[in-house]
Each structure stands twice: as C-alpha cells, then as structure tokens.
Amino acid sequence: GVRWQGIRGSSPEGWGVLAETPCIGEIAAIEVQQKQTKPAPRMKDAGVLSAMENAGKIIDDEEFREAISEKGLGTPATRADHIEKLISHSYIERLKSGGLRATAKGIRLIEVLRRIPVNWLSSPELTGEMESRLSGVQQGTFDSAEYMMEINHKVIAMVESVKGYESDTLYPHDQPLGDCPVCDGKVYEGMLNYHCQHNKRGKGCPFAIWKDSRGRYFDIITATRFLNDGKVDDLHGFVNRSSEEFTASIIRNDDHKLEFLSQGPSKEELSAAEELIGCPTCEGGSIKVTDTHWACDNGACKSKPLARNICKREMQTDEALRYFTEGETELIEDFISKRGKPFTAKLVNRGGRLKFEFPPRQNNGRSNLPQYEVTEGVVGTYSQRGSKVPIIESATHFIAADNDQGIELEIPRTFAKRELLRDECKTLVEQGKVGPLDDFISKKGKPFSAILVLNRSGNVKFRFD
C-alpha cells in the first residue's frame, strides 16, 4: 500500500518558553506623521450600475433587503438609461474623469422630498418595502388588490403632500445660522438660499448665501462656517468649465458676496518675474508678469491678480496695462461663456477686484413702454443650462443682473397694457410660466385672460388654455 509521511521542522530548544526576566527594550525614537484620509473616489457608471443591481446592501431591514436584493433597482436594460435621464435633467453630472456627481438641483430635490415628506420616493427602505409586497404578489402570499390599493393611497398622499406644502413650513425659522453681516437681523435657511430675516420676497436686506454657489452645493454646516468666519479655506467640490473638480478657498468680500481667494503666482514666481509697471493700487509693489498672471508682488496689496486667460481668451499686455492703470479695458468681443457662446464685455478693476461690465442693451422700444418705480433687490433666479443669475428691476423691464456667464434676459414689465407684478415675474422666471392672469387688454380694447410662458430663448408668449 501507499504510505504518507508528514514532514515538520523541529523546534529549537526553548522554543515558546519566555525567559523569567526578559530583557527591557529601549525606545530609540518616536516619530509622529500627520496625514489625512482620502475620501472614496466618485462612482463611475459601472459602480452606479453595480450599486443599483445590489441595492439591498444599504437596507437594514432583513425582509426588505432580501426582497430588493433579488431584483435590484430597475432592470439590466433600463439602469443605464436611468443615469442618462438624471444627467439630462441636471440632477447629476458626469465629470471629465468619468465620475458621477450630484448637482445642487439633485441634492435640493431629495432634501425637499424628505422635508415634505415624501419618503416613498427618497427612502431605499420604502423602496424595499414595496418590492417585498410585489414579490409577495408574484408568489401568491400577498393580495394583488390590496397591493394596488396601497399604491393608490401612497400616490394620493404624495400628491396632496406636494400640492399643499409651503416653503415657510418646510424651513421654519427655528435656529438661525448666525447674525446678518449687513443689518441686525438673523440668517435662516430657505429652499434656495440662507437669507436674512429682513429679506421678504426680494425686498429688504439683500444678504443671502445661495445654496448653489459657483456650481457647488452649500450645506448648512458649510454656510454657517462661511457666514460666521467670513471665509472657508480649502473647500473641495467646485467644478470648472472643463468639468474638472478643484479645491479653493472662499471669502466674503466687501459687498458680502462669495468670492474665490485668489490662487495667483507664488512669491518665488513673482520675485523671479519681469516687471510690467509699478503697482497703481499700493504704490509699494510692482505688477509682475508670470506665465499665468499679471500680479502685484506686494503680499499686502488689495489688487487681485489678473489671469492671462479669461473665459477662454488670451489677454494681451496692452489690455493688462489699461486694466491696472486706467481701471478698465476697452470692450472685448471674443470672450466665451460657460455655454460656449461668445460675449462682449469690459474688464473693470473695482478696488482691486475684477468685474465684467457689459455694453448697454439696445433700446428695443423701451421709450414706448410705461416706466415704473424701481425696487432694489433680487426678484427671482433665472436658470439656464445649469447656470443661475439673479433677476432685478429696471424702469421698464425685469432684467438679468450683470454676469460673466453671458446670460441675458429682458422681460417687459408691461404686457397688453397690464403690469407684470414682481411676484408674478418671480414665478415666471423660476417655473417657466405664470397664470392664468386676468386684465390684459387686446388691441381692440377687450379684456382677456392668459398664461405667460417663458420659452428657452428667453421670450415670453401668451398661452390660452
């Protein structure tokens, strides 16, 4: 027969026995290394598809987890389409790296659904619960009529909840973020921003921190830090025009607006750079020319660096000279907006900060329009392809405030001999329509009612239902 023999090494003498008086170790050195953990990388399409397929892992309840684990969310044929639909509706965006990122619009939607609440749409547990019921119907352990009745009740409750909610109810003024830097009021959270209590529908104190600022969602913790400290260092999550994420420090400027802390040239770069002119702002430094900026070499100077490439346009030396010495450039016609459209503007140096100044718009028959008293403050927020601009009043129109995104909008304050009120304009620009409104007067002098609709081109049309 066959015999097997195990081979084991022999242990040395005294193996495994501790000495009665073990030697005392000596500490040669202690070194402390400070490091930071890195967040998990953003999920790409494949990761999201896998998470949808294995969605049960994030549900605690064993029964619901088992039900949803059998099917996952969606089907293999529809999951990829779900991602594309979310992107097309600007709820998520795909970065240059391929990673998927929730937009401010998407985050705000989930937040509002949870506050109303419509947990049926925002909770994975309740999705698992409904899948469990559906599996019971398929297996004959749960009555199909009872299942459909439950679905009907949930839909009715959801519609009633959404239809009847009020912003003031969703965001009660229980706990302020802090003190308003403009007046003596308190700052509270709202649906779109964190605003001063003395700001009522765009009137009163203008201070606000928008939740969607520079393409980044500002949660209440970040907004509180920014409000109380006046700055936040090394804040991640911003996205540039090339769909790349970057980190930046932000400050609250003298106008109480959010502003990036300049990431200009280093001291070493400036010391080795060629001088353009003496600095007109501080009179103690010099404007130096680096590969990326024109910048003052005096660290205490209030003049911010001027980038050599602005809105996809290479700036010229003579333009930089005019900017620093005369305070503004001539009109420049070939800037490119975030949407890829050319626009014309001057670069204006206001107290050391760069501002865009746009040429006057054409008359467009304004002289024939009634003129109204102008109320300061933001009327509403106009969104166009992921960018947002505030809408303000002029004597004859509601217009987009000056911006560096090339977004223009003009809505007459008079339609068919009827004044468009401030709150009506807010609804129009934020929801795309308002009405039906009464008291319009036709060319024949007859009154009529209509809905005003704002189309994608920024034109307002009458609609009759």
The yes-or-no verdict on residue 444 having pLDDT over 60 is yes
pLDDT at residue 390 above 50?
yes
The pLDDT, as a whole number, for residue 385 is: 63
What is the mean pLDDT of the segment spanning 197-203? 75
**Percent of the chain at pLDDT exceeding 70:** 89
Nearest to 328 by CA among 287, 356, 295: 356
Q: Which of 117-121, 217-221, 376-380 has the highest mean pLDDT?
A: 217-221
Query: Quick one: pLDDT at residue 43?
Result: 92
Q: Where in the chain are all domains bearing CATH 1.10.460.10?
A: 45-165
Could you report the per-residue pLDDT of 285-307, keeping only the tens digit for each?
888 998 888 888 887 787 888 88
Query: How many other CB atoms are there within 10 angstroms of residue 116's CB atom?
Result: 17
User: Per-residue confidence at 63, pLDDT binned at 50, 70, 90?
Assistant: low
Band of the pLDDT at 181, cuts 50, 70, 90? very high
Q: Which residues of 200-237 are buried (b: 16+ CB within 10 A; e: fewer)?
A: eebebbbbbbbbbbbbbbbeeebbbbbbeeeebeebee
- CA-only gyration radius of the chain, Å: 31
Q: Is the pTM of this model over 0.75?
A: no
pLDDT over threshold 80, residue 262: no
Residue 403: pLDDT above 90?
no
pLDDT at 404: 60
Indicate if the pLDDT at residue 366 is higher than 60. Answer: no
- CATH superfamily, domain 45-165, is Topoisomerase I, domain 2 (1.10.460.10)
Strand 397-400 relative to strand 100-102, pairing: unpaired
User: pLDDT tens, 72-128?
Assistant: 777 788 889 999 999 998 899 998 889 999 998 899 888 888 888 877 777 766 776
pLDDT of residue 86: 93
Q: pLDDT for 29-61, tens place per residue? A: 888 888 878 778 899 999 999 888 887 666 666
Residue 18: the pLDDT is 74
To the nearest whole number, what is the mean pLDDT of the chain?
83
Nearest of 441, 376, 442, 433 to residue 425 by alpha carbon:
433
Q: What is the pLDDT of residue 338?
A: 65
Exposure string over 339-353, b if 16+ CB within 10 A, otherwise e: eeeebebbbebeebb
The mean pLDDT of 316-321, rounded to a whole number, is 91
Tell the residue number behind the tokens 């990388």, with chain if given: 41
Q: What is the pLDDT of residue 402?
A: 72
pLDDT of residue 221: 95
Q: Quick check: 365 pLDDT over 50?
A: no
Confidence of residue 242 (pLDDT cuts 50, 70, 90): low
